[in-house]
Structure 1
Amino acid sequence: MKKKVLVTGFDPFGNDTVNPALEAVKQLDGIFIDEVEIVTQEVPTVFHDSINVMIKAIETHQPDVVICVGQAGGRTQVTPERIAINVDDARIPDNKKNQPIDEQIYEDGPAAYWTTLPVKLIVRHMKKAGVPAAVSNTAGTFVCNHLFYGLMHYIQKSAPHIRGGFIHIPYIPEQTLENGAPSLSLDDIVKGLKTAAIVAAYEKEDIQEIGGTTH
């Protein structure tokens, strides 16, 4: 049975001139793997605008699954996120100079939403494909978490047949030439996201295995 997965990626933000999420999305657009069609959407690194662009893409493409992707500089692995929280607390301004602090994303929303992607199963398959991966329990409080929460709120209110979640990815090597931060090749990131799309398209139930952290 054919499935459609929408993958979104942010444009560059802060002092970066490239965002690996967007670079990966460019390579994923329009491909078919194992009866899974991947469609993509660039989203602005802007509070609220990002959610509006994503919702328009969902309504246009009518996907079975939505995976939002964002950069998490300093991480060493591809990290599917477990939970989105209902707060904006921006350490830096977004690309329109908005900097909300301690603000709810939706006043009528719960404190948090769980992902509906099988994140531990995705991690297992990424590792089998040779991509370093781990479950993450915090998507931060910047636009990544904002979009993740907005996605799950939209699904809850308007599209319960869709499953969705968020994946953070490391820097790519060209971003770390001067600072020595951890990075992962764009090829590995793309391979990991392809794997996530296939697993999420066909597997609804997650596995139960150790994936937690002590901090």
Structure 2
Amino acid sequence: MKILVTGFDPFGGEAINPAIEAVKQLPNTIKGAEIIKLEIPTVFHQSARVMREKALEVRPDVILNIGQAGGRAELTPERVAINQDDARIPDNEGNQPIDVAIQADGESAYFSTLPIKAMVEAIRQAGLPAAVSNSAGTFVCNHIMYQSLYLAATELEGTKAGFMHIPYMTQQVVDKANQPSMSLDDIVRGIEVAIEAIVEYHDQEDLKVIGGTTH
């Protein structure tokens, strides 16, 4: 099995991005699966071009995208990506699309094809906070999740895809009062056990456990 794991470069004035820092530290093999690591730019469409080029080259069984969600305290696999770019801030090349469809011929939304509840349970069993998220936002994180699922639906039949948000790294919140964070070691461990769940459940249905929210 091949798993392509992507991580974004720094954005929004941050000097580092825990997404790519954590991806770089993942083992090259997890539960027998080859881990292919890829840095992608925090840029609408360019991120998808870089991801697509690599995915078509290596033909992965799974695409897992990792992104920073400053303000979240948990590792959060995303349930759904919507066909909409609506940028609160510009990306790293100054693009700021507002209410623009990501793919004109794409579905209104694509649901993750990863075992998101099994991933959450694996992370929690490793002693780390985790929860299912029902919104990947409308910035480049949602964009790359949508594009990965669109790619799987149109060009990489059989490939599963999804996204997981991670908190700030500890050193990022030194000047951010009351913001949750997590050590890089814990973020790496959380991603690793999430990938273990992806491998274990690759040919199985996801867990049927409570993961919803009231709001």
Query: TM (normalized to structure 1)?
Result: 0.96
Indicate if the aligned counterparts of 1:126 and 1:132 stay in contact, CA closer than 8 A: yes
Per-residue Cα deviation, 1:46-98 (whole angstroms, up to 9, x for no partner): 00000000011112222111100000000000000000000000000000000
Indicate if the aligned counterparts of 1:4 and 1:201 stay in contact, CA closer than 8 A: no
Per-residue Cα deviation, 1:14-49 (whole angstroms, up to 9, x for no partner): 110100001001112x61122122111000000000
Question: 3-state SS of the aligned residue for 1:5?
Answer: strand
Per-residue Cα deviation, 1:132-177 (whole angstroms, up to 9, x for no partner): 1100000000000001000000100111211110000000011000
Offset of 1:201 from its aligned partner? 2.2
User: What's the counterpart of residue 4 of structure 2?
Assistant: 6
Indicate if the aligned counterparts of 1:65 and 1:201 stay in contact, CA closer than 8 A: no
Indicate if the aligned counterparts of 2:86 and 2:138 stay in contact, CA closer than 8 A: yes
**Cα distance in 2 between the residues matched to 1:36 and 1:103:** 36
Indicate if the aligned counterparts of 2:30 and 2:195 stay in contact, CA closer than 8 A: no
User: What's the counterpart of residue 213 of structure 1?
Assistant: 213
- In the alignment, is residue 55 of structure 1 matched against residue 87 of structure 2? no
Indicate if the aligned counterparts of 2:2 and 2:60 stay in contact, CA closer than 8 A: yes
- In the alignment, is residue 172 of structure 1 matched against residue 169 of structure 2? yes
Aligned sequence identity (%): 53
Indicate if the aligned counterparts of 1:119 and 1:206 stay in contact, CA closer than 8 A: yes
Deviating beyond 4 angstroms after TM superposition, the runs of 4 or more aligned structure 1 residues are none
Query: What stretches of structure 1 of length at least 5 have no aligned partner?
Result: none
Which of the numbers 193, 201, 204 marks the counterpart of 1:203? 201
Alignment of 1:157-168 (within 5 A): 157-168=154-165
Which of the numbers 188, 191, 194 marks the counterpart of 2:192? 194
Question: 3-state SS of the aligned residue for 1:66?
Answer: strand
Alignment of 1:23-38 (within 5 A): 23-28=21-26, 31-38=28-35
**Cα distance in 1 between the residues matched to 2:200 and 2:55:** 19
Alignment of 1:1-215 (within 5 A): 3-28=1-26, 31-180=28-177, 181-204=179-202, 205-215=205-215
Offset of 1:184 from its aligned partner? 0.7
Query: TM (normalized to structure 2)?
Result: 0.96
Indicate if the aligned counterparts of 1:5 and 1:201 stay in contact, CA closer than 8 A: no
Query: What stretches of structure 2 of length at least 5 have no aligned partner?
Result: none
Whichever residue aligns with residue 27 of structure 1, its letter is Q
**Cα distance in 2 between the residues matched to 1:62 and 1:160:** 10
**Cα distance in 2 between the residues matched to 1:201 and 1:136:** 21
Whichever residue aligns with residue 207 of structure 1, its letter is L
Question: 3-state SS of the aligned residue for 1:167?
Answer: strand
